[in-house]
Amino acid sequence: MDFTHFISVDWGTSNLRVQLIKTPALEILESIKLSEGVKIVFDRWRVEGGDREDLFLSLLKSQVESLKNPITKTCPIIMSGMVSSSIGLRELPYAQVPFGIDGKGLIINEIKGGTYLKNPIYMISGVRTNEDVMRGEEVQMLGLIDKNYQGEEMCFILPGTHSKHILLNDGLIIDFKTYMTGEIFEMLIKHSTLSEALEKVNEMDPSLFEQGVLRSVEGRSLLHEWFKVRTSHLLKKRSRVENHSYLSGLLIGEELRYLKTYPGKIRLAAGSSLYQQYVLALKVLQLSNVEFVSKEEESLSVVKGQWKVLNIVYGS
């Protein structure tokens, strides 16, 4: 492999991130992020018609051309995330678990850029179990697993709109589960009767958040506990701002509470917007086998994973 740069494309449901990476140090030279996720592009295609792949490639071309550094035609472009889904550029089949952490079990498709891009373009598919799927997190996992991993049993927690808990053992991803924590939280805030009892704030109240986590451990019905968020405001027991922190703790606690009986190591890899909440929740649950991935390491994990895949493609 003789190239000195590659273009990293992380194309999710809501956002698109394009980054120019210098190899082998994996230095980010430029980064572009915009709200042109695959769902937005797909919906545009359904209205406008035409060739779906052309629409995605034309948008990708515009972003590559907006990079300030000169890009040669031999600079590879590698894409991961929802871009390989049924609403993406092209749907690719899922790889199956168990899945090796060397990444060699991934399905990688070369995309012809046609009249849009002459660069070699590679798209990575997702991974599935018999009852769950993920696209993008598998590449992030390749970037998160370091040389110190000795094959022990481990659970990686990747918070988000749809949080992923990914189980490793003996060098293999053997299972994973998806939790709709972020989506449910957003739905309750914006589209439920609880919206009048909640006020979104940037700063979490740790004590109220902790109360929510502890309440979740009791194993009570969430359907009832959610309604009590509303009544706590009506009966003036908690303010709307306080309810926001409490509900966040209640939902994140529900996601994590089963880990109290998990025997292996736990590694949390959370972005800056969710890091504080998940760290506090794990501490409230008194889990002693937890490691915290740094925010810097988490932010570079997709790029590292894509770099590993490029090494597979080019046989390095």
Does the domain at residues 181-296 carry the CATH identifier 1.10.540.10? no
The sign of the dihedral angle between the CA atoms of 99, 100, 103, 104 is negative
CA distance 6 to 218: 49
pLDDT of residue 3: 79
Tens of pLDDT, residues 231-264? 999 999 999 999 999 999 999 999 999 999 999 9
Neighbours of 242 (CB within 10 A): 21
3-state secondary structure of 201: coil
Identify the sign of the CA torsion 119, 296, 267, 161: negative
Q: Are strands 5-11 and 77-81 parallel, antiparallel or unpaired?
A: parallel
- Asked if residues 79 and 56 have their Cβ atoms less than 8 Å apart, the reply is no
The CA distance from 12 to 15, in Å, is 5
Q: Rounded mean pLDDT of the chain?
A: 93
Residue 113 has pLDDT above 90, yes or no: no
Place of tokens 């501490």: 283
Map tokens 């995605």 to a residue: 56
Q: Say if CB 153 and CB 119 are below 8 A apart.
A: no
Q: Which long-range contacts (CB under 8 A, 24 or more apart) does 64-67 make?
A: 64/7, 64/18, 64/117, 64/119, 66/32, 67/7, 67/18, 67/20, 67/30, 67/32
CB 298 within 8 A of CB 110: no
Give pLDDT tens digits for 50-105. 999 999 999 999 999 999 999 999 999 999 999 999 999 999 999 999 988 889 89
CB-based contact 257:190 (threshold 8 Å): no
Reading the block at residue 54, the tokens are 């052309």
Reduced to 3 states, what is the DSSP secondary structure of residue 285?
coil
Q: Are 135 and 124 in contact (CB under 8 A)?
A: no
Q: How many residues does the chain have?
A: 316
Residue 316 has pLDDT above 80, yes or no: no
Looking only at the bridges linking them, the beta strands covering 121-124 and 154-158 are unpaired
Helix (H, G, I), strand (E, B) or coil at 191: helix
Provide the pLDDT confidence category of residue 2 given band limits of 50, 70 and 90.
low
Dihedral pair phi/psi, residue 220, rounded to 5°: -75, 165
pLDDT for position 307: 96
**Position 128: which residue type?**
R
Give the whole-angstrom CA distance, residue 72 versus residue 152.
Answer: 42
Question: Per residue in 261-309, pLDDT tens?
Answer: 999 999 999 988 899 999 999 999 999 899 999 989 999 999 999 999 9
Whether 5-135 shares its CATH topology with 181-296 is answered yes
Element (H, E) at 209: helix 206-217
Q: Give yes or no for residue 185 having a pLDDT over 60.
A: yes
The pLDDT, as a whole number, for residue 149 is: 79
Query: Which residues face 177 on adjacent strands?
Result: 165
Domain ranges of the chain: 5-135, 181-296
Mean pLDDT of 102-129: 92
φ/ψ of residue 180, rounded to 5: -85, 35
CB count in 10 Å sphere of residue 85: 23
Q: Could you give the C-alpha distances from 29 to 21, 70, 72, 198, 258, in angstroms and in order?
A: 6, 11, 15, 41, 41
User: What CATH code would you report for 5-135?
Assistant: 3.30.420.300
Helical segments of the chain, H only: 38-48, 52-65, 137-144, 181-191, 206-217, 222-234, 240-256, 272-284, 295-299, 301-313
